[in-house]
Amino acid sequence: MSHTRWKLARERQHAAGYTEPPEITAEREQIRLAHALGQLVYDRRTALGLAQPELAERLGMTAEEVDAVELGGMLPITADLLVRLASALDVTVDLHVVAGGDGQVAFGERAA
């Protein structure tokens, strides 16, 4: 059997005319953004040479909570969390939310 013919259940449903409810689409987008943020946090933490407990101390969190953030499991993403991350990692956080699920999160260098 050719694996190129396999389709995800979501693709099959879409082909059959199924439209995902807006709340499911929004939740899926939040999960995607949480994973993207988690990767950014991990990359910046390791670039700074920080261990999870050190970042946790800077954030006022536990190392387990930092691990959850890095794995994309800290939901919902709040403005408070983004502000704390920006301060602890010495970055700016840019969050662009666009209708239709094309949001992006990025870290930038903090202006001197």
Task: Average the pLDDT over each of 19-23, 37-41, 51-55 and give the range with the smallest value.
Answer: 19-23
pLDDT band at 101 (very low <50, low <70, confident <90, very high): low
List, for residues 61-81, the tens digit of each pLDDT value: 999 999 999 999 888 889 999
Average per-residue pLDDT for the chain? 87
Contacts of residue 24, Cβ cutoff 8 Å, sequence gap at least 6: none
> How far, in Å, are 8, 23, 76 from residue 61 at the CA level?
38, 29, 16
Note the pLDDT of residue 63: 96
Cα separation of 71 and 66, whole Å? 9
Specify the DSSP class assigned to residue 5.
G
- Where in the chain are the domains? 20-109
**20-109 — its CATH code?**
1.10.260.40
Burial of 1 from C-beta contacts in 10 A (0-12 / 13-18 / 19+): exposed
